[in-house]
Chains A and B, each alone.
Chain A
Amino acid sequence: DVKVTQSSRYLVKRTGEKVFLECVQDMDHENMFWYRQDPGLGLRLIYFSYDVKMKEKGDIPEGYSVSREKKERFSLILESASTNQTSMYLCASSLTGTGSQFRNQPQHFGDGTRLSIL
Chain B
Amino acid sequence: RKEVEQDPGPFNVPEGATVAFNCTYSNSASQSFFWYRQDCRKEPKLLMSVYSSGNEDGRFTAQLNRASQYISLLIRDSKLSDSATYLCVVTGGSGGSNYKLTFGKGTLLTVNP
Also in contact, A110 and B43, with CB within 8 A (given A42-B104, A104-B91): yes
- In the complex the two chains form, is B104's CB within 8 Å of A59's CB? no
CA distance A56 to B95 in the complex (A): 11
B24-65 interface with A by 8 A CB criterion: 31-32, 34, 42-46, 49
- In the complex the two chains form, is A111's CB within 8 Å of B46's CB? no
Q: Tell which of A11-19, A43-51, A63-71, A73-81 binds the partner.
A: A43-51
- In the complex the two chains form, is A58's CB within 8 Å of B100's CB? yes
- In the complex the two chains form, is A109's CB within 8 Å of B45's CB? yes
CA distance A72 to B53 in the complex (A): 35
Between-chain CB contacts (< 8 Å), 15 pairs:
A40-B105, A42-B104, A42-B105, A43-B87, A43-B103, A50-B99, A58-B100, A59-B93, A104-B32, A107-B101, A108-B46, A109-B44, A110-B43, A111-B42, A111-B43
B90-113 interface with A by 8 A CB criterion: 91, 93-94, 97-101, 103-106
- In the complex the two chains form, is A42's CB within 8 Å of B43's CB? no
Known: A42-B104, A101-B32, A106-B34. 4 other contacts (CB 8 A): A40-B105, A43-B87, A43-B103, A108-B46
B-side contacts of A25, CB under 8 Å: none
- In the complex the two chains form, is A48's CB within 8 Å of B105's CB? no
B-side contacts of A106, CB under 8 Å: 32, 34, 46, 49, 89, 101
A-side contacts of B98, CB under 8 Å: 102-104
Nearest A residue (CB) for B47: A106
Q: Which 8 A-B residue pairings sit nearest by Cβ, starting from the closest?
A: A104-B32, A103-B98, A42-B105, A109-B43, A43-B103, A104-B31, A106-B46, A104-B91
Check: A21 CB closer than 8 A to any chain B CB.
no
CA distance A43 to B105 in the complex (A): 7
